[in-house]
Amino acid sequence: MDQQLQQEGYFGEFGGSFVPPELQEVLNYLSEQFYKFRDDPEFKEELRYYLREYVGRENPLTYVERLSKAWGGPKIYLKREDLNHTGAHKINNAIGQILLAKRMGAKRIIAETGAGQHGVATATACAMFNMDCVIYMGAEDTRRQALNVFRMELLGATVVPVHNGQGRLKDAVDAALDDLVRNYKNTFYLLGSAVGPHPFPTMVKHFQAIISEESKLQIMEKEGRLPDAVVACAGGGSNAIGAFAHYIDEPTVRLIGVEPDQAPSLTQGVPSIIHGFKCLVLLDEEGQPKKTYSIAAGLDYPGIGPEHSHLKVTGRAEYATVTNEEVLEAFQELSRTEGIIPALESAHAVAYAKKLASTMSQDQIIIVNLSGRGDKDVEQVYQMLK
Ligand SMILES: *Cc1c(COP(=O)(O)O)cnc(C)c1O
């Protein structure tokens, strides 16, 4: 069985698990428990209950008529992850993993966070399920994101600043993994994106696949057919893999992931191992993961989920980049045209959809995954535009 689980952690040459033996044992146990509960009817029912009553699912698939007309091409639909409780898709995964943690008897949840969005989603879910919550965050990041630190503390979490290394996300991940190895008996590591060693990418996809499960039914109901393209932004790749999941076996649907042109892991990365798994990684001249910079904190990651790496090299999905200027324009255009302020991350998908729309005809359909709302970004955009 171990052999088989190990195999399931691969997407072509990507994925797998490259970690010390003590951590591997913990991950093997986690895989086993995940596969056991994933298909358990009671677990599924409980997950559905919380997604409905707490997250607010299903969320709409909104036809944005004015934007479609303004772009002059295909019909544009937005999948409204921005309307979830806490304002983004991250809560889908946080609730799923915390329910698994409960089944596994964990009393304590740990997580890493960069800009703080995953930390906030985790702290929220922990508050609701009355779990102890420890969030590791690079010391440098705690200074830059003081308000998110306060948010997590309000929600009852303990935020631990990590001073090792550069005091950034990578160092927070290392600290969380360290904690897990020491405390695995009562602790669950709630990872925030479709990255990391097996089983995390498979597990995060499973909990985010609700996005395309819903959108597929919704588009069939509204249009009686599948979309021609699904567009999503890609940081670690969790909202994108969730938005793609139920279309991967539908060859007529183009799948397009969008990255910042300053962190183009999929467009320019090479196969390499980071954070315990193999994926396409942006490397610098010394062969180290490159320091990326994005105006959208959630997209600021030099790697990408292993399944996206595989979808890219096999050609099933396409990956594109947009510039900061295009993102800022899309941010404003969607706000002005439809009264929907997107997260800066999601504005990457909107910006690319605009370019794509100009190559398509009016009888075609694009679904854009609106991964989150932009309230968190309004002040930053104000500063940038000033
Ligand atoms: C975190 C975040 C992202 C990027 O993460 P993925 O794992 O690539 O989805 C995108 N959009 C929003 C709103 C986010 O909060």
pLDDT at 2 over 60: no
pLDDT at 290: 83
**Is the pLDDT confidence value at 239 over 60?**
yes
pLDDT of 115 reads 87
Residue 7's pLDDT is what?
62
DSSP-assigned states of every residue in 204-234: HHHHHTHHHHHHHHHHHHHHSS--SEEEEE-
Q: Catalytic pick from 58, 81, 112, 345?
A: 112
- 216 CA to centre of ligand 1 in angstroms: 21
The predicted model gives 218-239 an average pLDDT of 98
Average pLDDT for 173-198: 95
pLDDT of residue 262: 87
pTM, to two decimals? 0.96
Tens digit of each residue's pLDDT (9 = 90 or more) over 110-146: 999 988 999 999 999 999 999 999 999 999 889 988 9
Give residue 301's pLDDT.
Answer: 79
Residue 213 has pLDDT above 90, yes or no: yes
Active site residue 90: yes
Over residues 64-78, mean pLDDT: 98
The sign of the CA dihedral 102, 106, 107, 109 is negative
Burial class (CB in 10 A: 0-12, 13-18, 19+), 254: middle
CA 211 to chain centre: 11
Pocket of ligand 1 (CB under 6 A): 88, 90, 117, 193, 233-240, 298-299, 343, 345-346, 371-372
The predicted model gives 170-181 an average pLDDT of: 91
- pLDDT tens for 306-349 read 999 999 999 999 999 999 999 999 999 999 999 999 999 999 99
pLDDT at 279 over 50: yes
Where are any strands of DSSP class E within 46-157?
61-63, 75-80, 108-113, 132-138
Amino acid, single-letter form, for residue 382:
Y
Annotated active-site residue 371? The verdict is yes
Q: How far is the CA of 363 from the centre of ligand 1 (A)?
A: 30
- Of residues 267 and 73, more confidence is placed in 73
Question: What pLDDT sits at residue 288?
Answer: 85
